[in-house]
Amino acid sequence: MPRPRTLSDEQLLDMVLGLVHAEGPGAATFGAVAKISGLSGSTLVQRFATKAAMLRACLLRAWDRLDMETARLIRSVAETPEGAIELLAGLSRDYGDDAASYAEGLLVLREDLRDPALRARGAAWGKTLAAALDRCLGKPPLGRLMLSQWQGCLLWWGFEPKGSVEDYVREELSRFLQAAA
């Protein structure tokens, strides 16, 4: 009979995700995760088999959380241009307000682009966001264009992180919509 788990998979993957966000994907080794979780390295190997499988499970968990937050925000905003801005500003909150944290997040993006399953999750998320933005803006394909503009805003904010990323996104996307009108 197997021993009961002291940490659920979700709790453990959230710890791994915290490590990945703090130190980058390369830091998610069995040894490092054993240290932060209190589990033995052999227990982690039994659960995940490989470091790559553990990282993938962690990032799939992150996509699950992002999908839930995205759905919550979509339900909470008005289907107006202002609602479109609020949706993307709300999603920007998790990027933090310093360029170093944002840069660490780009290392996670690299992992998402390398792995076909993670890349598919990103593509599906983008389609969901573009459709929600199209409903807010009433002018397809403006939603996809605004989504691209948002990602550019995040990148440019990373080069000159003045003020909060959320405020920067609001300002830049307001300019974008004025120009698109």
What is the DSSP code string of 127-142? HHHHHHHHHHHSSTTH
Same domain for 44 and 95, yes or no, is no
Flag whether the pTM goes above 0.85: yes
Last residue of a domain, one of 63, 96, 112: 63
Last residue of a domain, one of 32, 63, 94: 63
pLDDT higher than 90, residue 107: no
Cα separation, 61 vs 52, in Å, equals: 14
Q: Which CATH number does the domain housing residue 25 bear?
A: 1.10.10
pLDDT higher than 50, residue 1: no
CA dihedral 161, 60, 58, 119 (to 10 degrees): -60
CB of 81 closer than 8 Å to CB of 136: yes
Same domain for 94 and 177, yes or no, is yes
Residue 68 lies in a domain: no
CA atoms within 13 A on the CB side of 121: 21
Residue 101 has a pLDDT of 79
Residue 4 lies in a domain: yes
Residue 69 lies in a domain: no
Structure tokens at 106: 């780009």
Q: What percent of the chain has pLDDT over 70?
A: 97
Looking at 77-115, list the stretches that DSSP marks H as alpha helix, in order from N- to C-terminal side. Answer: 81-92, 99-114
Same domain for 104 and 174, yes or no, is yes
Same domain for 89 and 159, yes or no, is yes
Higher pLDDT, 98 or 91: 91
Look up the domain containing 134 and give its range.
Answer: 77-181
pLDDT higher than 60, residue 13: yes
Residue 2 has a pLDDT of 55
Residue 3 has a pLDDT of 56
Mean pLDDT of 75-81: 98
How would residue 4 be classed by pLDDT, with cut points 50, 70 and 90?
A: low
Number of domains in the chain: 2
Cα separation, 164 vs 172, in Å, equals: 12
Query: Angle at the Cα of 109 (from 107 to 115), degrees rounded to 5?
Result: 110
Residue 53 has a pLDDT of 96
Residue 71 lies in a domain: no
Same domain for 84 and 49, yes or no, is no
